């Protein structure tokens, strides 16, 4: 617990330090997402998540969409291995600037801990990012490639006695740190930090939703320019367990 809180504190403090010395662009966005994990057998399952992100005064135009799928292997109920593929489009918002696609294979280990007063989820994810290049104002057949490591940690705190169970209001605190590496990464080894705090509701055992404030502090490839995004985030989480049908 202390070690986890240290990671969140360090990430937020690092973001603050960057903001004191660098050129920063402020933005406002709206993030919407649906997450699904479906368990078919004792060992196998499917991961799907879909994202829509709006920007310019929160929701004037589309900023990005993303679809991610993966195969989940359950070591046991609290530890899962996942490998899959994601496809994303970044929308320029300008007629003379093309939209850019990204292909992103990914691998992940995810683990859960249940404490007396909260639940904690963590994951460590490795991504291989193939991003389209723009040459002379047009999308080329060439791709920029780099790796990215992501560490995510989430605290789910029930706001009434009995733990995280159906018909329970919840408090969520989440932080994710992302680091780039690879031959084409020169200045921005630090990619971004995402910090979220919000409230949610556990509707059923497998269905919950969150609404709150997200801060995204992102470093541009120049290494001297940053984007500080203030976002409203609404996520829906839907977990299905189909093992009973197997029996």
Domains of the chain in sequence order: 2-246 (2.40.160.40)
Q: CA-CA distance, 120 to 47, in Å (whole number)? A: 19
SS (H, E, C) 177-223: EEEEECCCCCCCCEEEEEEEEEEEEEEECCEEEEEEEEEEEEECCCC
pLDDT per residue rounded down to tens, the chain (247 residues): 555 555 555 555 455 455 455 799 999 999 999 999 999 999 999 999 999 999 999 999 999 999 999 999 999 999 999 999 999 999 988 877 899 999 999 999 999 999 889 999 999 999 999 999 988 778 888 899 999 999 999 999 999 998 999 999 999 999 999 999 999 999 889 999 999 999 999 999 999 999 999 999 999 988 889 999 999 999 999 999 999 754 4
Residue linked to tokens 């299905």: 240
Decide if 82 contacts 70 (C-beta within 8 A).
Answer: yes
Residues 71, 7, 221, 219, CA torsion sign: positive
pTM of the model: 0.88
Over residues 41-62, the pLDDT tens digits come to: 999 999 999 999 999 999 999 9
């Amino acid at each position: 617990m202390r070690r986890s809180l240290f990671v969140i504190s360090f990430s937020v403090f690092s973001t603050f330090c960057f903001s004191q010395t660098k050129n920063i662009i402020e933005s406002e966005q709206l993030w919407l997402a649906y997450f699904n994990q479906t368990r078919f057998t004792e060992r196998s399952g499917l991961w799907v998540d879909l994202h829509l992100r709006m920007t310019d005064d929160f929701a004037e135009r589309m900023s990005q969409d993303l679809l991610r799928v993966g195969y989940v292997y359950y070591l046991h109920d609290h530890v899962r291995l996942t490998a899959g593929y994601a496809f994303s489009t970044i929308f320029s918002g300008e007629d003379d600037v093309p939209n850019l696609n990204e292909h992103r294979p990914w691998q992940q280990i995810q683990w859960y801990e249940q404490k007396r007063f909260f639940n904690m989820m963590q994951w460590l994810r490795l991504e291989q990012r193939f991003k389209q290049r723009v040459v002379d104002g047009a999308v080329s057949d060439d791709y920029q490639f780099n790796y990215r490591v992501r560490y995510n940690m989430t605290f789910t705190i029930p706001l009434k006695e009995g733990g995280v169970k159906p018909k329970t209001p919840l408090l969520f605190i989440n932080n994710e740190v992302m680091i780039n590496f690879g031959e084409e990464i020169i200045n921005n080894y630090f990619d971004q930090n995402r910090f979220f705090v919000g409230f949610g509701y556990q509707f059923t055992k497998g269905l919950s939703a969150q609404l709150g404030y997200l801060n995204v502090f992102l470093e541009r490839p120049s290494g001297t320019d940053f984007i500080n995004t203030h976002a409203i985030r609404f996520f829906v989480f839907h977990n299905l367990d189909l093992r009973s049908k197997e029996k």
